Structure 1
Amino acid sequence: MLLKWRRRAKFYVIKLLRAGQGNHKVALGFVLGFFPCWFPTFGVGPALSIFFAKLLRTSVASSIVAAGVGSVAWPLLFFANYKVGNVLRAVWSKEAPIAEVDDLLLETVPEPDYAHAADHLNRLGDMGLNFMVGSIANSLVFSVLFYLCIRSLLARYRAPLLRTLRPKKKIGRTG
């Protein structure tokens, strides 16, 4: 099973490197393939990656490779989205004036059960907002960084990688 996955990964990498497309199209295809991985797409991410790659006429092979990498890295991306969103919201939010806080504290709460449930739902809403802010920020920043890195790596290492992945000729009998 592992050998099958390894062969398939090698096939897509070779297909990606041999593509007659320029470094720009391959790097952009990778970025478009990884972009949906920052958001919870509930299994539609790889299809979205291929759709975006075909829509913008970039490399579909690099889009598939990036979607595969992003699918495996989803738990880390989820955690990064939440943490970055939490930091950004803390930086951008301002403290409420003390008079408003005092007014809120003086109001009576009708039922303690409802107050607890409302507080819990408010915290869940804040977590969702933190996640969305983080996913938007991460997707934009890392799309630019990935594009620049992939394009420069392809410009420098495309030919040596193809020579490395070329099948070895067997020496011996040919008959």
Structure 2
Amino acid sequence: MKIKRRIKYYLLRLFRIKASPQQVAFSLTLGFIPSWIPTFGIGPILSVAITKVLRGNIIAAVIGGVIGTPIWPLLFFLNYKMGSLFFIKQINLDEVDDIEYVETLNETVGSIQSGSVLFLAGSVINIIVFSLIMYGGLYILLKKYRGHILQKLQNISC
């Protein structure tokens, strides 16, 4: 019950932001970007910093960072998969649980010959592709359906 209430709260804040659909979509997308890379707990701070530099909406950026925080294992898995599509060195990952996060960090810092190239290349590709998709989808959603969604959210009881 508490989770449902918190989700409703953040959605209401997002759809009530008094900014243009472009600015909200841009800021939320910027806030989500640090979730693709290992930030070791400073992802939301990076989200805010990036958004301030690019003059976006801070609330939307924080919401984007909050969305990405619980799904980072899936995002890291997608980074490896995407990187392995573009490099000869194929890795054998079938599940999110197959990724050794400490080992990934050590390889990223210590060796270019390791799976770190796959991870880094995959993260760059994913950031670009998914940011464009996320921005476009959010822009359309906010431009066309903002009022309707806000009205529906207000009618949901928690």
- Calculate the TM-score normalised by the size of structure 2: 0.78
Structure 2 counterpart of 1:114: none
Runs ≥4 residues deviating over 4 A: 121-124
Q: SS of the residue aligned with 2:39?
A: coil
Q: Is 1:166 equivalent to 2:154 in the alignment?
A: yes
Q: SS of the residue aligned with 2:88?
A: helix
Cα offset, 1:123, TM superposition: 8.7
Cα offset, 1:164, TM superposition: 1.1
In the TM superposition, what are the counterparts of 1:19-58 in structure 2 within 5 Å?
Answer: 19-58=17-56
Cα offset, 1:54, TM superposition: 2.0
Cα offset, 1:167, TM superposition: 5.2
Structure 2 counterpart of 1:153: 141
Cα offset, 1:84, TM superposition: 0.8
- 1:124 and 1:72 map into 2 onto residues whose CA distance is 28
Which ranges in structure 1 are unaligned for 5 or more consecutive residues? Answer: 92-120, 169-175
Structure 2 counterpart of 1:65: 63
Matched-pair identity in %: 36
Q: Give yes or no for contact 1:12–1:61 (8 Å, CA) kept in 2.
A: no
- 1:54 and 1:6 map into 2 onto residues whose CA distance is 29
Cα offset, 1:19, TM superposition: 1.2
CA displacement, residues 124-172 of structure 1 (integer Å, 9 cap, x when unaligned): 842111100100111011111111111011111100011112258xxxx
- Aligned partner of 1:28: which letter? F
- Calculate the TM-score normalised by the size of structure 1: 0.71
- 1:159 and 1:90 map into 2 onto residues whose CA distance is 48
- Aligned partner of 2:114: which letter? D
Structure 2 counterpart of 1:107: none
Structure 2 counterpart of 1:94: none
Q: Is 1:130 equivalent to 2:128 in the alignment?
A: no
- 2:153 and 2:81 map into 1 onto residues whose CA distance is 38
- 1:163 and 1:65 map into 2 onto residues whose CA distance is 20
Structure 1 counterpart of 2:101: none
Which ranges in structure 2 are unaligned for 5 or more consecutive residues? Answer: 90-106
Cα offset, 1:76, TM superposition: 0.7
- 2:57 and 2:149 map into 1 onto residues whose CA distance is 18
- 1:61 and 1:10 map into 2 onto residues whose CA distance is 15
Cα offset, 1:20, TM superposition: 1.2
Cα offset, 1:8, TM superposition: 2.9
Q: Is 1:141 equivalent to 2:139 in the alignment?
A: no
Q: Give yes or no for contact 1:81–1:138 (8 Å, CA) kept in 2.
A: yes
Q: SS of the residue aligned with 1:10?
A: helix
CA displacement, residues 100-119 of structure 1 (integer Å, 9 cap, x when unaligned): xxxxxxxxxxxxxxxxxxxx
